[in-house]
Structure 1
Amino acid sequence: MTPQQAAEWMLEQFEAKRFLYQEEAASHLFHLHDEALAYFDASGNLCVGKAVLAEFNKMTSDAVYERADKFWRDRLPSDMPGRMQ
């Protein structure tokens, strides 16, 4: 699976529910055994690969990332500017 294909899978999951937890996406991608898709950071957290995340961000310009709960969701009128909330 390429980073583009992984981002497309993430987009499908996001569009089906209108939200996507980072842990769910990273866990699925990690099981594909490709560190370009998912990896453990220095703190031991499972993360979506940077190339995958860059592609996903391009596809979801109206989504925001809830940093505290680690998930992407649709932007609300009350959201602050920027991707992170």
Structure 2
Amino acid sequence: MTPKLAAEWMLAEFEAKQFLYQEEAATHLLHLHDEELAYYDGNGNVCVGRKVLAEFNKLAPDIVYERADKFWRERLPSDQPGRQQ
């Protein structure tokens, strides 16, 4: 699977639920055994690969990431500029 296909999968999952937890996406991608798609960081957390995130951001410009709860959601009128809230 390419990073673009992984991002498209993430977008489809997001659209089905209107949110997507990072751990859920990263765990799914980790099972594909490609560190470009997902990896463990220095603290042992599973993370979505940077190239996948870059593609996801291109596909979903109105989706923001909630840092505190580690999930993506639709942008709200009250959100600050930027992708992370």
Q: What TM-score does the superposition give when structure 1 sets the normalisation length?
A: 0.97
Partner Cα distance (1:13, 1:24) in 2: 10
Partner Cα distance (1:57, 1:5) in 2: 13
Partner Cα distance (1:50, 1:29) in 2: 12
Residue 82 of structure 1 corresponds to 82
Q: Any idea what SS the aligned residue of 1:10 has?
A: helix
1:30 lines up with 2:30 in the alignment: yes
1:13 lines up with 2:13 in the alignment: yes
The aligned amino acid for 1:57 is N
The aligned amino acid for 1:9 is W
RMSD (Å) for aligned C-alpha atoms: 0.5
Q: What TM-score does the superposition give when structure 2 sets the normalisation length?
A: 0.97
Identical-pair percentage: 75
Query: Any stretches of 5+ residues in structure 2 without a counterpart?
Result: none
Give the number of equivalent residue pairs: 85
The aligned amino acid for 2:58 is K
Runs of 4+ aligned residues of structure 1 deviating over 2 Å after TM superposition are: none
